[in-house]
Amino acid sequence: EHIRITILSPAKLELFDILGKRVMTATMDAGQNQLDLPLLEDGIYYLNIEQEGRKNTKKLIKQTWR
């Protein structure tokens, strides 16, 4: 229950649930990073990535296969 993120420069990450509640924040160094999500419930999330003054948002869908 994790995702791997490769970034070219240090970044600040914020993860929001579908209702806009911030559920996680992290800072990551350049290179390959791992974001652990084991405590999050299944659902839709939005990952905001800010680096070098630019912001990017990615949609994540967490679904546990049973």
- Quick one: pLDDT at residue 64? 82
Transcribe 4-55 into DSSP letters. Answer: EEEESS-EEEEEEETTS-EEEEEEE-SEEEEEE-TTSPSEEEEEEEEETTEE
Q: Mean pLDDT over residues 28-48, rounded?
A: 91
Q: Which residue has the higher pLDDT, 35 or 22?
A: 22
Model-level pTM? Answer: 0.84
Mean pLDDT of 35-39: 84
For residue 50, give every residue at least 6 positions away whose Cβ sits within 8 Å of its Cβ, in sequence order, or none: 11, 12, 13, 14, 56
